[in-house]
Chain A
């Protein structure tokens, strides 16, 4: 009378597939295919986006991301070294910075830098500088912790070997420890780059001129113009063009590290 465990499993799996099939069929019947096509895959609208969506939007996304990443990486390295310093105030400053910028929304930083600073200090920052600071200040907090972990993961014997050759603490750090630490943290840093690529869309808050549009902003603008979702779809796909290869790179790097251990 009781079902064998294997039969019961087979029935449960059958039911799950059944539900899926029903859902797909219902969706296919209910959906208004014509409207969906014009909304998402309007060829005329798509054509109108090119080449600007590549030459302006995609390039700006890459530019903003690299600006933020470069600044964030440099500041993150400094913070990581401060965090590991034997001088307590340096450690306190680094910890405070990291906790602060990890704890607040990036949005606030953008608003503060885009509107707060110009109003309060009556200076007009260059757009690229504002983007670099906004993305980099937050990114640095995350990267600092990643880099610190990487530095601490380098075996102590490496420092000892370097010091026993007469290298100073700083020289050992620069020539021996940091290069190895970066190898270790390359995968998480690449992940950080992926996150920054997406966060670069926040620059819309800064109020961009046409030639400063990046993908998200460009897509939104085109959406208003054409009353079609096609630009959003294409902008999304172009983000994937950047992030998917990076994700692939992370997996390759992780595999390499796993093999080297």
Chain B
């Protein structure tokens, strides 16, 4: 499949962007959630996706590892076209780590077992190797002492860090994060963001949906602003968050950065944004 997209065989796949999305559309029945998305994420790049609720951020992320089947368009991950009907999607998915807003740890398994089960059943690693890698990753997220704890015995922040460690244990080439801190109490957000900062520093390719503007500003190489199923603008954090060029971006940022001040204009904004996208 990569023969077509690259002209230098295997070497070409190495040079291909980590994620490449072309003309991506997704509809749930009548509802068009993504209306033609084009963008790509380079290797080692950290891209943050921001935008109002319902703008299609989660759907975009889920189209990258095919948790959602795109209605149209092409998604390529590290040179492999995942939208190709003949592709072995389970093979592609093990190279893509995903972290969910609600953690989705396996509650019947300990923290360490959460990290080893896919290594053993999918990657066919032996138990000692899987546990060694698992422990190293728990250590990496600062939870080396929680190997035998069950998810119910962990705080939200700890659960989310275990979830990150679980994804890392598969040695993914890139990581998708869908609002990883949105379900957390404010005082627990910092630990999770610190782990993500560490990942970014280590050169991990990351596509992050987030409302944490300070994180986006500080860590992201690029920020993408979505609204109504399209990318309204993208650029460096300084451009998009610091000096947005679109009215919709400005309204959104005003609301996120200073919720109290934006309360008044909220209803009007939503209406306006919705109409502009629809027509």
Contact = CB atoms under 8 A, between A and B. Distances in A.
Interface in B20-42: none
Contact of A166 (B94, B152, B163): B94
B259 interface: no
A246 B75 CA distance: 54
Contacts of B167: 164-165
Interface in B196-239: none
Interface stretch (B10-18, B100-108, B186-194): B100-108
Interface of B: 65, 67, 90-91, 93-94, 96-98, 100, 102, 104-108, 117-118, 121-123, 152, 163, 166-167, 170
A164 B98 contact: yes
A200 to B, nearest CB: 31
A168 B90 contact: yes
Contacts of A162: 106, 118
Contacts of A155: 104
A164 B106 contact: no
B118 A160 contact: no
Q: In the complex, which of the residues A164, A167, A176, A180 has the most CB atoms of chain B within 10 Å of its own CB atom?
A: A164
A179 B108 contact: yes
Given A165-B93, A165-B166, A260 B152 contact: yes
Contact of B106 (A161, A168, A171, A260): A161
A166 B122 contact: yes
A180 B122 contact: no
A163 B122 CA distance: 10
A158 interface: yes
Nearest to B66: A163
A166 B104 contact: no
B214 to A, nearest CB: 27
Contact of A164 (B67, B105, B152): B67
23 contacts: A155-B104, A157-B102, A157-B104, A158-B104, A160-B67, A161-B98, A161-B104, A162-B106, A162-B118, A164-B67, A164-B97, A165-B122, A165-B170, A166-B123, A167-B122, A168-B90, A171-B122, A175-B117, A176-B117, A180-B106, A180-B107, A180-B108, A260-B152
